[in-house]
Structure 1
Amino acid sequence: MDQRVSFITLAVADVRRSRQFYVDGLGWRPMFESDDVLMLPVGEHLMLSLWSVEGFTAEIGHAPAAGIAPLTLSHNMPTEAGVDEVLAMVASLGAEVSSATRREWGGYSGYFVDPDGFRWEVAMNPGPTGDYVLP
């Protein structure tokens, strides 16, 4: 098996509400959408699939567990100002936001919560050349 991830699928309560947040609010462009699913390309070979709880349950055979998903999605920005801009934008959409701070690992990050409770980190993660990179 190749070492890669192709899809991240999140079960959402209301696909239309997710569309309003990600497409109408954040300006992301869907690759595919229906009443049950919204697919958003988030990388060269990576898709974020927002699937209705009902469709997700029918596919996997059981309902997702209640509570906070033990998962954080991350979005890197090249500057601290960029981090603050994204957090301000999602706050204007009504998202719960925790302000960005400098982190012990040398970066700068804050968090927001999407309409279904999924947490997103928005980070400036400097590499040795000042570029934003993954550790």
Structure 2
Amino acid sequence: MDQRISFITLAVRDLERTHAFYVDGLGWTPELFVPGEVLMIRTGEHLVLSLWAEAGFEAEVGPVRRGEGIVPITIAHNVRTEDEVDAVLEVARAAGADPVTAAERRDWGGYTGYFADPDGFRWEIAVNPSPIGELVLPD
């Protein structure tokens, strides 16, 4: 098996609200949008973020776990500078992200902050000064 990820699929409660957040708010370009079903956004050379209406997700994958707390996953968007971290967090705030946490320097040497999309999925906006951090940045 090749060592790669092709799609990250997230089940969302309100696809139109999700579309408004990612496309209208963050300014991302959809590759595919089927109202009421799925929104797909290319997020890397060979990576697609698939935002799937919860009913269709459950029909194919199985029941979604519900309850208190934060979904146990984060999605990271790495940038080169601390100013870029702050700028992306501000774009997310303007798009309606809630909550948005201010970035801070972390014990491991990075600078990160978080925002939540309309379904509560947490996005980490980060500068990671290590070699692995450089690996994930575009040329």
After TM superposition, the score normalised by the length of structure 1 is 0.91
Paired residue for 1:117?
120
Q: Does 1:76 align with 2:69?
A: no
**What is the CA distance between 1:133 and its match in structure 2?**
4.1
Q: State the SS of the aligned residue for 2:77.
A: strand
Aligned pair 1:14/2:14, yes or no?
Answer: yes
Structure 2: how far apart are the matches of 1:30 and 1:85?
22
In structure 2, how many angstroms separate the alpha carbons of the residues matched to 1:30 and 1:18?
12
Correspondence for 1:98: 101
Alignment of 1:16-95 (within 5 A): 16-35=16-35, 36-60=37-61, 62-67=62-67, 68-95=70-97
TM-score, normalised relative to structure 2? 0.89
* % identical equivalent positions: 56
Cα RMSD of the aligned pairs, angstroms, is 1.4
Contact 2:113-2:126 at 8 Å conserved across structures = yes
Runs of 4+ aligned residues of structure 1 deviating over 6 Å after TM superposition are none
User: Which ranges in structure 2 are unaligned for 5 or more consecutive residues?
Assistant: none
